[in-house]
Amino acid sequence: MKHLNLLLLSVLLCASCKSPEARMPESVRSGSFLMESAERSKKLNATEQKLIENIIKNNPDIEYIASESGFWYFYNEKIENEANYPQFGDTVDFEYNVSNLEGTEIYGNSSKTYIMDKEELFTGLREGLKLMKPNERITFIFPSQKAFGYYGDDNKIGTNIPLICEVTLNSIIKNND
């Protein structure tokens, strides 16, 4: 009996010293989903680009400016003498309205106070405010990826909707930190 216990113990020791083996994955995924998603995004971007180019072409008397961030804008009211732009942490007070590319109003004139880059605001508007001086009024045209993108705003703005926003920057309160 003693020999049997010793034999059993040595078999268990040998079996427990075996190194772990790698398991094969149950399913192999290719990058096809990501490639298809990227292709859909490229097509969507091209379609929106054509729509925006048509708006610009149909308004030859307006001087549109292409931003480095991927949206377009023009000045309704431009302030020439001030160089006071909002910076990180500054508090800005602004008014805005939002419409789709056909000009249908989505949100009427709204007022908002926003702390630059410290609060939630959709990408295009956040970047657009950085281009503004107090008392300027600018109209921005944002492709959907600079607006609310794939998710929309869970209210009136749906999936992949490019937007036109007219924004008036009322004031900038500088952060003294």
Query: 3.40.50.2300, 3.10.50.40, 3.40.50.300, 3.40.800.20: which CATH number matches 65-173?
Result: 3.10.50.40
Going from the first residue of the chain to its last (177 residues), give the mean pLDDT of each consecutive group of 10, the final group possibly shorter: 63 61 66 83 92 94 94 95 87 96 93 93 95 96 93 89 96 86
Q: Do 128 and 165 touch, CB atoms closer than 8 A?
A: yes
Q: Do 107 and 85 touch, CB atoms closer than 8 A?
A: no
Domain ranges of the chain: 65-173
Task: For 57-103, write each residue's pLDDT tens digit.
Answer: 999 999 999 999 999 999 999 998 867 899 999 999 999 999 999 99
Given this model, what pLDDT does residue 154 score? 85
pTM of the model: 0.79
Given this model, what pLDDT does residue 123 score? 93
Given this model, what pLDDT does residue 83 score? 77
Given this model, what pLDDT does residue 37 score? 83
Work out the burial of residue 6: count CB atoms within 10 Å of its CB; fewer than 13 is exposed, 13-18 middle, 19 or more buried: exposed
Separation in Å, CA 83 to CA 15, 16, 131: 76, 74, 10
Q: With helix as H, strand as E and coil as C, how does 98-135 read?
A: EEECCCCEEEEEEEEEEECCCCCCCHHHHHHHCCCCCC
